């Protein structure tokens, strides 16, 4: 289980996270929807530990990890724009976490077949389509055998038709892990295809919603109020 409680993060006067709390059970995918600049990436970076928070705590399976280093949190993280290593092959990218003593060669085959990457292992990221780069980024995060998975707009480069095909597959893969998953998007349709539960981020707050239609309403109101760009 992943729990965040009263997270606060400010950049100068800008309070990007203003007492954000959430809880995700194992095997559930919570999608956070929000406009650009609403603090979604900041929230994920605070949970990973890459970015220190000003207040609040992060718990994984009941353990307070707020003061642990990122590599000690057992979090799988797909950063925005995938951040693959272009000089490494797909295979080398996937097993990268071995350098930090994570993952095991036994898990490699399972991850490769789960994401249909068998024929691509000796290619470099630049030789792949956006869809396959997203698969590799997810495979790399899965290989580290995380207790929690965080994905920051992993399919932004991908066109709509392709997303409609990939999202149900990603959802199935993520459910198989039986860990809490936090998935970020600015696209309510994408949210609908991958999520079990939904929340909207705005004004530094996280608001739980029942359906993605509510996200459309809230985001429309935010755009009319002049916040960010959809």
Ligand X SMILES: Nc1ncnc2c1ncn2[C@@H]1O[C@H](COP(=O)(O)OP(=O)(O)O)[C@@H](O)[C@H]1O
d(CA 165, CA 209): 25
Q: In the numeric block, which tokens belong to residue 144? A: 């580290």
The pairing of strands 205-209 and 197-202 is: antiparallel
Residue from the set 2, 7, 22, 34 that interacts with ligand X by CB under 6 A: 34
Residue from the set 7, 29, 30, 40 that interacts with ligand X by CB under 6 A: 40
* Shortest Cβ 42–ligand X spacing (Å): 3
Q: Should residue 212 be labelled a site residue for ligand X when binding is judged by CB under 6 A?
A: no
In this chain, which stretch among 30-38, 62-70, 135-143, 211-219 interacts with ligand X, using CB under 6 A?
30-38
How many residues are given for the chain? 230
**Quick check: 177 and 167 in contact, CB under 8 A?**
no
**Quick check: 201 and 17 in contact, CB under 8 A?**
no
* Shortest Cβ 8–ligand X spacing (Å): 13
**Quick check: 159 and 189 in contact, CB under 8 A?**
no
Nearer to ligand X, 42 or 212 (CB): 42
Binds 73, which of ligand X, Mg ion, none (CB < 5 to 8 A, cut-off by type)? none
Residue from the set 4, 28, 42, 97 that interacts with ligand X by CB under 6 A: 42
* Shortest Cβ 10–ligand X spacing (Å): 9
Q: Should residue 188 be labelled a site residue for ligand X when binding is judged by CB under 6 A?
A: no
Q: Should residue 41 be labelled a site residue for Mg ion when binding is judged by CB under 5 A?
A: yes
> If DSSP codes are grouped into helix, strand and coil, which group holds residue 123?
coil
* Shortest Cβ 43–ligand X spacing (Å): 7
- Could you tell me the maximum CA-CA distance found in the chain, to the nearest angstrom? 52
The pairing of strands 205-209 and 63-64 is: unpaired
* Shortest Cβ 151–ligand X spacing (Å): 12
d(CA 65, CA 48): 9
Residue from the set 6, 37, 50, 129 that interacts with ligand X by CB under 6 A: 37
């Amino acid at each position: 289980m992943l729990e965040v409680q009263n997270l606060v993060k400010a950049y100068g006067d800008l309070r990007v996270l203003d007492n954000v709390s959430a809880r995700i059970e194992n095997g559930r995918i919570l999608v956070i929807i929000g406009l650009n600049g609403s603090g979604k990436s900041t929230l994920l970076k605070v949970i990973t530990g890459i970015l220190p928070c000003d207040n609040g705590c992060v718990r994984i399976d009941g353990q307070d990890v707020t003061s642990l280093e990122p590599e000690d949190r057992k979090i799988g993280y797909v950063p925005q724009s995938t951040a693959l290593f272009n000089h490494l092959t797909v295979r080398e990218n996937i097993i990268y976490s071995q350098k930090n003593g994570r993952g095991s060669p036994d898990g490699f085959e399972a991850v490769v077949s789960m994401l249909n990457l068998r024929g691509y292992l000796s290619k470099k990221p630049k030789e792949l389509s956006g869809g396959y780069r997203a698969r590799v980024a997810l495979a790399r995060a899965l290989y580290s055998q995380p207790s929690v998975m965080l994905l920051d707009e992993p399919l932004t480069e991908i066109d709509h038709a392709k997303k409609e095909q990939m999202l149900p597959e990603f959802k199935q893969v993520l459910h198989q892990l039986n860990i809490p998953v936090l998935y970020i998007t600015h696209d309510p349709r994408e949210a609908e295809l991958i999520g079990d539960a939904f929340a909207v981020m705005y004004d530094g707050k996280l608001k739980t919603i029942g359906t993605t239609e509510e996200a459309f309403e809230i985001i429309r109101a935010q755009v009319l109020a002049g916040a960010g760009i959809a």
